[in-house]
Amino acid sequence: MAFGAFWLDFERAGTIGSLVWGEFGPVLSDAVAFPVDPPANPPETPPRKSTRANAITCYPRTRSMPTRAPGRDILSVMDYAPDVDHLLRRAFALKRDRRRGRRLRSLRDRTLALVFEKPSTRTRTSFEVGVRDLGGAPMYLSSHDLQLGRGETIADTARVLSRYVDGIVYRAFHHADEVELAKWASVPVINALDDLEHPCQVAADLLTMYERWKGKFSGRRLAYIGDGNNVLNSLLLGAAAVGLDITAASPNGYGPNAGIVRHAETLARAHHSSITLTDSIEEAVRGADAVYTDVWVSMGEEAETAARTAAFQGYQVNDALLARARPDAFVLHDLPAHRGLEITDEVMDGPRAAVWDQAENRLHAQKALLEWALLAPKASRGRGTSR
């Protein structure tokens, strides 16, 4: 059952009913008449809230005003890790229903602000389409559209946007800014990428592997070749959460975040899986069930292009390297790809590439994450980072 079975108070046209999660998603029960009064004007200083800290960002949650629903933030894979199995089943069901022409309006009458400091193809498009698929209204706001780009503080921006929208999707340069926005926002905040993690991308990656391996991660191994960047940080956590072995090969000095590695190793032990870090691409790929790569130079690192290009010579996914993996192994890349650098045309366009399914799955995985964040049941407070 996707997400398990739970109930939510649901506001609809001056009435309140109940939203129950079944196998095919949430269903609104018979509504009962109930007056909906506007909340009292709250103080500007946020009162104390739950003191449970996020395992990665480690800050106490606060809120500055009441919200329409409890809600949960997604700043890290760790936030949804306890529910990852339910999320993948839910994403799979949403993908199936969309292909059958069915749309569930679970976010009807909700508005999502998409605050992007970095340009995007897949993240922006998949979130805009996903919110509309679920009956909501996306509002794209680049940093040039906001006073945030002219000196207004993140805290002030968060408090203002929280008065207008039901959730904020934030694509930021710095993880500290992501944390600051979530601290002051009174609506759920979803990390659409920062310099530490990319939790939405990894939800789609896991969905792609879930489909190919028919829901079974145990006994499988993922090889990652390339930079120890935000994607690898989140992949380590995601693989550990589902019990998937992972081996990551990066040049010396370009490995993943040490704090993330510690959290991932703890999570992996709990799920009886392994994490191996090496600088040998041959060791990483040998016998792997899937091979993942990413760009050598991420956005914001352009000044390091020459040094990185030299350091990553040889860290390329090509036919010769892929021959060391299992015969049925497939290739993943979160895109955009720099063809001829981290991956060859032959692999990208070949029969073993799963990158196009992976890109499509951004849409379905993020729809499941949106429901999980915005339709959080009151009973689940304390799981993940409940608001």
Lowest-confidence segment of 33-37, 97-101, 161-165, 322-326 by average pLDDT: 33-37
CATH of the domain at 294: 3.40.50.1370
Q: Given this model, what pLDDT does residue 71 score?
A: 86
Residue 340 forms part of a structural domain: yes
Q: Given this model, what pLDDT does residue 301 score?
A: 82
Residue 257 forms part of a structural domain: yes
Whether the predicted pLDDT of 383 surpasses 60 = no
Q: Find the domain containing 281 and state its range.
A: 199-360
Give the DSSP H/E element, type plus range, for residue 28.
strand 25-28
Residue 30 forms part of a structural domain: no
Q: Given this model, what pLDDT does residue 377 score?
A: 63
pLDDT mean across residues, the chain: 84
Q: For 328-350, what is the mean pLDDT?
A: 97
Residue 158 forms part of a structural domain: no
Whether the predicted pLDDT of 27 surpasses 90 = no
- According to DSSP, the β-strands at 290-293 and 245-249 are unpaired
Whether the predicted pLDDT of 156 surpasses 50 = yes
Residue 25 forms part of a structural domain: no
Q: Given this model, what pLDDT does residue 35 score?
A: 37
pLDDT digits (tens, 9 = 90+) for 176-205: 999 999 999 999 999 999 999 999 999 999
Residue 78 forms part of a structural domain: no
Residue 129 forms part of a structural domain: no
- The Cα–Cα gap between 207 and 98 comes to 16
pLDDT digits (tens, 9 = 90+) for 197-240: 999 999 999 999 999 999 999 999 999 999 999 999 999 999 99
- The Cα–Cα gap between 379 and 166 comes to 20
Residue 182 forms part of a structural domain: no
Residue 151 binned pLDDT confidence (cut-offs 50, 70, 90): confident
CA 173 to chain CA centroid, nearest Å: 16
Helix or strand or coil: residue 178? helix
pTM value is 0.82
Q: Is 340 left (phi over 0), alpha (psi -120 to 50) or beta?
A: left
Whether the predicted pLDDT of 172 surpasses 80 = yes
Total domains present in the chain: 1
pLDDT digits (tens, 9 = 90+) for 283-309: 999 999 999 999 999 877 889 999 999
